[in-house]
């Protein structure tokens, strides 16, 4: 039984084509960006070879460092693609999610690891399923709260500073999410 | 295993691979850009631009944090050094906050994945809020002693 009828089928087709087009433009944009960076490397190579070798070495180290998080994000995307249905995402992270949605975005932002750009594909996917932009912004802002790094932060700045800053960062993340949604609409 | 479930798992896997694959050129570009950045912009260069004017330094701290990138530990180490050198806590707080919340280097990737408007608005708001949070944090610390 198809409760949506033909209209739903057409919408589905349009949605799939839309995602394909968006993925295509993301890929194209990425290729142009990569080519631009490669050109920068080529120019700088002739100016200072040793620095370019060092930059490549640093880049390789970064890649090795983020590899476990990349694998984790791919697995998360796979699992979320299988289990999370738009209805569920919309319920917990969509327009009607309320305080629970904000609490989830803040918590996930705090516990998320690794470089921020590794999380963009998952967030894009979640948004496609109905996640609010405000919650995405809140998630990204809360990455400033790094639980494993708190002892290092306390060492440099003291416990009072870290406590106050952490509290304000969480509050600011919600304000940012709300402001972003206001500006978008 | 049910054939239907098997199909869904396989479909979901290929969808994920395809979705992630579109991000790969951008990801490699960002990683290579980070390599250049880390070699050409040293912590000493960051420390040298601060003056003794708190307002100027706070804006500068937020700006340098926005264009800097890397592990947040690095920002704490530089921030600790800046405090030792007499740079105001307003500036250091804005610096360590924008280090994580604003990403000029990652902006092309964010714009490509989440939209140009979203990326610009979010980074702009994060920049302003970092200054607000820095001021609020330091003033609160002064009040609670």
CB A176, CB A137: distance < 8 Å: yes
Query: Is a pLDDT exceeding 90 seen at residue B116?
Result: yes
CB A170, CB A106: distance < 8 Å: yes
B49 touches chain A (CB under 8 A): no
Domain extent, residue B31, equals: 1-40
Checking ipTM against 0.90, whether it exceeds it is no
Measured CA to CA in angstroms, residue B28 lies from A34, A39, A41 at distances of 7, 14, 13
Say yes or no: B31 and B62 in one domain: no
Half-sphere exposure of A74 (CA within 13 A, CB side): 17
Gyration radius from chain A CA atoms: 21
Most confident residue range from A31-35, A115-119, A122-126, B133-137: B133-137
Query: Is a pLDDT exceeding 90 seen at residue B127?
Result: yes
Region A155-181: mean pLDDT is 95
Give the pLDDT of residue A8: 39
Give the pLDDT of residue A17: 53
pLDDT bucket at A9, cuts 50 / 70 / 90: very low
Region B69-81: mean pLDDT is 82
Say yes or no: B69 and B29 in one domain: no
Say yes or no: B54 and B112 in one domain: yes
Picking from B12, B38, B100, the nearest residue to A143 by CB comes out as B100
Domain tally, chain B: 2
Partners of residue A62 in chain B, C-beta under 8 Å: 31, 34-35
Chain-chain contact of B114 with A176 (C-beta, under 8 angstroms): no
Say yes or no: B81 and B136 in one domain: yes
Residues 101-130 of A with CB under 8 A from B: 116-118, 120-121, 123-125, 127
CA pair distance A125, A102, nearest whole angstrom: 18
Say yes or no: B62 and B93 in one domain: yes
Say yes or no: B100 and B137 in one domain: yes
Picking from A30, A157, A164, the nearest residue to B29 by CB comes out as A30
Query: Is a pLDDT exceeding 80 seen at residue A53?
Result: yes
Residues comprising chain B, all counted: 145
Chain-chain contact of B36 with A27 (C-beta, under 8 angstroms): no
pLDDT bucket at A43, cuts 50 / 70 / 90: very high
pLDDT bucket at A10, cuts 50 / 70 / 90: very low
- Per-residue pLDDT reduced to its tens digit, A99-127: 999 999 999 888 887 778 888 888 998 89
Say yes or no: B93 and B35 in one domain: no
Region A44-66: mean pLDDT is 92
Give the pLDDT of residue B42: 81
pLDDT greater at residue A36 or residue B72: A36
Give the pLDDT of residue A172: 97
Query: What value, to the nearest 5°, has the Cα angle with vertex A61 and ends A32 and A122?
Result: 55
- Smallest CA–CA distance, residue B102 to chain A, in Å, is 9
Average pLDDT over chain B reads 88
Give the pLDDT of residue A68: 85
CB B81, CB B101: distance < 8 Å: no
User: If phi over 0 gives left and psi between -120 and 50 gives alpha, with beta otherwise, what is residue B102?
Assistant: beta
Structure-block tokens of residue A107: 């918590």
Partners of residue A184 in chain B, C-beta under 8 Å: 117-118, 121
Enumerate residues 6+ apart whose C-beta is below 8 A from B42. Answer: none
Partners of residue A144 in chain B, C-beta under 8 Å: 72, 97, 100-101
Say yes or no: B31 and B51 in one domain: no
Say yes or no: B49 and B24 in one domain: no
User: If phi over 0 gives left and psi between -120 and 50 gives alpha, with beta otherwise, what is residue A98?
Assistant: left
- Per-residue pLDDT reduced to its tens digit, B25-54: 888 888 898 889 889 888 778 778 887 788
pLDDT greater at residue B94 or residue B2: B94
Instruction: Give the best residue of B14, B27, B91 to mutate against chain A (max A CB count within 10 A).
Output: B27
B23 touches chain A (CB under 8 A): yes
Chain-chain contact of A62 with B35 (C-beta, under 8 angstroms): yes
Q: What 8-state DSSP symbol labels residue B105?
A: T
pTM: 0.76
DSSP string, chain A: --TTHHHHHHHHHHHHHHHHHHHHHHHHHHHHHHHHHHHHHHHHHHH-HHHHHHHHHHHHHHHHHHHHHHHHHHHHHHHHHHH--HHHHHHHHSTT-HHHHHHHHHHHHHH--S-GGGTHHHHHHHHHTT--HHHHHHHHHGGG--GGGHHHHHHHH-HHHHHHHHHHHHHHHHHHHHHHHHHH-
Say yes or no: B90 and B46 in one domain: yes
Say yes or no: B50 and B12 in one domain: no
Query: Is a pLDDT exceeding 90 seen at residue A54?
Result: yes
Say yes or no: B73 and B18 in one domain: no
pLDDT bucket at A22, cuts 50 / 70 / 90: low
Alpha-carbon B102 to chain mean position: 4
Partners of residue B117 in chain A, C-beta under 8 Å: 184
Among B29, B106, B116, B101, which Cα is nearest to B65's?
Answer: B101
């Amino acid at each position: 039984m198809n409760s949506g009828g033909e209209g739903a089928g057409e919408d589905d087709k349009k949605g799939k084509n839309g995602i394909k087009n968006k993925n295509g433009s993301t890929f194209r944009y990425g290729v142009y960006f990569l080519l631009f960076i490669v050109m920068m490397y080529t120019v700088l190579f002739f100016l200072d070879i040793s620095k370019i070798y060092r930059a490549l070495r640093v880049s390789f180290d970064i890649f090795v460092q983020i590899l476990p998080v990349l694998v984790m994000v791919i697995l998360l995307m796979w699992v979320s693609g299988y289990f999370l249905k738009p209805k569920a995402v919309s319920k917990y992270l969509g327009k009607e999610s309320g305080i629970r949605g904000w609490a989830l975005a803040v918590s996930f932002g705090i516990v998320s690891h690794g470089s921020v750009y590794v999380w963009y594909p998952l967030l894009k996917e979640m948004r496609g399923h109905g996640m609010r932009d405000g919650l995405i912004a809140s998630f990204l802002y809360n990455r400033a709260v790094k639980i494993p790094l708190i002892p290092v932060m306390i060492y440099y700045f003291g416990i009072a500073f870290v406590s106050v800053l952490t509290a304000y960062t969480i509050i600011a993340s919600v304000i940012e999410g709300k402001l972003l949604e206001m500006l978008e609409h | 295993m049910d054939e239907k479930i098997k199909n869904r798992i396989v479909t979901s896997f290929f969808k994920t691979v395809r979705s992630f694959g579109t991000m790969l050129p951008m990801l490699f570009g960002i990683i290579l850009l980070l390599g250049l950045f880390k070699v050409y912009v040293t912590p000493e260069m960051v420390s040298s631009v601060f003056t003794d004017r708190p307002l100027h330094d706070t804006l500068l701290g937020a700006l340098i944090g926005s264009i800097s990138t890397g592990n947040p530990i690095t920002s704490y180490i530089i921030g600790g050094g800046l405090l030792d050198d007499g740079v105001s806590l307003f500036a250091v707080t804005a610096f360590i906050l924008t280090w994580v919340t604003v990403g000029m280097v990652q902006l092309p990737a964010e714009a490509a994945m989440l939209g140009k408007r979203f990326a610009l608005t979010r980074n702009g708001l994060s920049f302003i809020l970092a200054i607000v949070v820095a001021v609020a944090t330091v003033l609160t610390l002064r009040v609670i002693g």
